[in-house]
Amino acid sequence: MKVLAIVSSARKVGNSEILAKEMLAALPDSVEKKMLRLEDFRIEPCRACYACLTSGKDCIIPDDLASVLHEIQEADAIILASPVYFLGMHTRLKLLCDRLISVMNEGEKYAGRRCVVAVPYGVADWQGYGVEATVSVARFLHLDVVGVLPVRAANPGEAVRPEILGRARELAGRLLSADAASPDSGDATAVVRQSTEVDDIACPVCGSGILRISTDGGLRCAICGTIGNLRATPAVAAMELQPAWTATEHFRYSAAGMAEHARRLEAIKADFMSHRQELLMLRKPYRDT
Ligand SMILES: Cc1cc2nc3c(=O)[nH]c(=O)nc-3n(C[C@H](O)[C@H](O)[C@H](O)COP(=O)(O)O)c2cc1C
């Protein structure tokens, strides 16, 4: 078995690297272990050319994307360690993430690989959407996320706390065990629950705490799209709000969910092709000023 740890932070021996290495160290010696830093690969921004949407076409940008994807395909399980930056995901991870549009329809090359995600962040209640965004990268890669570990640690080395290292080691064990729940099985909340500091309501399907709430109590997970509603139930001292969730047809990150999205993008591209001239005329005045 081969486990690959991907570290996005440029900080050498920073918290992401420490967490990744602690997880690798927790794995048995029989496991082949490797760590890569995104810093060492040249990944350019997506050009939104949609050339990759044509079946069988790879991304046309000549950089190191293929090397990173190859490393992932070579591994049996993945550790992703990436810090929160400005409430969201780390810059280098975002560059990689956008380029995953080119593998959206290639789930068979990645599916079945377990993944655990460690996300250091510096300030209490400043995780923003960073944890969810980081986890979404693993899911867009068709990986089976079996554990998420947000870690409050500002300065490099602050992640070295016995309880954190213990949780990191436990998480690494999930890459090996056969009985960890997967989000597709619908019972992932306990495994992927991401909120650590407050008792948030979490999406039961993907574990996200980022929910849109409408005035009539409707709930929508902003990350995976699962819907539900808030119900008021009389509690001992006051009214208590309880979420009730509705099963969706398929999980956004499942093979079927991603294939559906790829078809949607192909339709957008086809629409562009058929209205190209019209759109060109609309854009022309802006090009010439
Ligand atoms: C540019 C930048 C932006 C950051 N933004 C946030 C933030 O929004 N929320 C937060 O909690 N921490 C933020 N941090 C702190 C890092 O998440 C924290 O220091 C983390 O431990 C860094 O991980 P590393 O040691 O692996 O680089 C930021 C750090 C930098 C350098």
Ligand 1 in reach of 140 Cβ (< 6 A): no
DSSP single-letter state for residue 85: B
- Among 84, 126, 151, name the best residue to mutate to test ligand 1's pocket (greatest count of ligand atoms within 8 A of Cβ): 84
User: Can you state the angle between helices 130-140 and 91-99, rounded to 10 degrees?
Assistant: 30
Ligand 1 in reach of 133 Cβ (< 6 A): no
Q: Residue 152: name the closest of 126, 128, 127, 122 by CA.
A: 122
DSSP single-letter state for residue 255: H
Ligand 1 in reach of 88 Cβ (< 6 A): no
Strand segments (E) across 122-262: 144-152, 211-213, 218-221, 227-234, 239-246
Q: What is the structure's pLDDT at 242?
A: 86
Ligand 1 in reach of 82 Cβ (< 6 A): no
Residue with tokens 């810093």: 39
pTM: 0.89
Closest C-alpha residue for ligand 1 atom 2: 85
Rounded to an integer, the average pLDDT of 61-72 is 98
The closest-lying atom of ligand 1 relative to the alpha carbon of residue 156 is 25
184 pLDDT above the threshold of 50: no
Q: Give the gyration radius of the chain's Cα atoms.
A: 20
The closest-lying atom of ligand 1 relative to the alpha carbon of residue 10 is 27
258/261 Cα distance (integer angstroms): 5
Ranges of H-type helices in 115-196:
130-140, 162-173, 189-192
Output the CA 3–ligand 1 centroid distance in Å. Answer: 26
Mean pLDDT of the chain: 90
Burial class of residue 182 (count of CB atoms within 10 Å of its CB; 0-12, 13-18, 19+): middle
Which domains, and CATH codes, for the chain? 2-198 (3.40.50.360)
Percentage with pLDDT > 90 across the chain: 74
DSSP letters of 24-83? HHHS-TTSEEEEEEGGGS--PPP----GGGSTTPPP---SSHHHHHHHHHH-SEEEEE--
Output the CA 121–ligand 1 centroid distance in Å. Answer: 5
Half-sphere exposure of 189 (CA within 13 A, CB side): 10
Q: Which tens digits make up the pLDDT trace of 23-60?
A: 999 999 999 999 999 999 999 999 999 999 988 899 99
